[in-house]
Amino acid sequence: MQMKKVRDLRQPETEAAYKKYLAEYKGGCPFCLETAEPRKIVKDYKFWYITENIYPYDKVYSISHMLVPRRHLIFLWDLSSEELAEFLEIKKQLAELGYDEILENLPGIKTQHHFHQHLLAY
């Protein structure tokens, strides 16, 4: 299968800032709240939080948030039953919260291997 790849979700200045971040990346997980730089929490749950994407997909969406488990894990199937139950409850509410789409990057193609889903609104 041949796939034409076009990465064009960010405005040029946002993409440039993201590339700079990647080039200067010194390791450490940006989503583990105990060790990451302080980030704005949009909505807080017991096992999850919603945060702003510092490098938003601003070419396509006006809102670019991320739903992140508090515990560091890579795959959806690594969730505990309690974490999974809360995840499904949150997902039921996402349209009411104003989001239009969910995007999940597959592990291995991005630098951040802490599971997260992008919550996006036009």
Residues that bind Zn ion (CB under 5 A): 29, 31-32, 72, 114
Nearest approach in angstroms of CB 97 to Zn ion is 23
Tell me which residue has its CB nearest to Zn ion: 29
Return the number of other C-beta atoms located less than 10 Å from residue 29's C-beta: 13
Residue with Cβ nearer Zn ion (91 or 114): 114
Residue with Cβ nearer Zn ion (53 or 63): 53
CA atoms within 13 Å, Cβ hemisphere of 28: 10
Residue with Cβ nearer Zn ion (32 or 97): 32
Nearest approach in angstroms of CB 82 to Zn ion is 18
Residue 52 exposed, middle or buried by CB count within 10 Å (0-12, 13-18, 19+): middle
- Are residues 75 and 107 in contact, defined by beta-carbon separation less than 8 angstroms? yes
Q: What is the DSSP letter of 76?
A: G
For residue 94 the two structure tokens come to: 């996402």
Nearest approach in angstroms of CB 60 to Zn ion is 26
Nearest approach in angstroms of CB 113 to Zn ion is 8
Residue with Cβ nearer Zn ion (29 or 85): 29
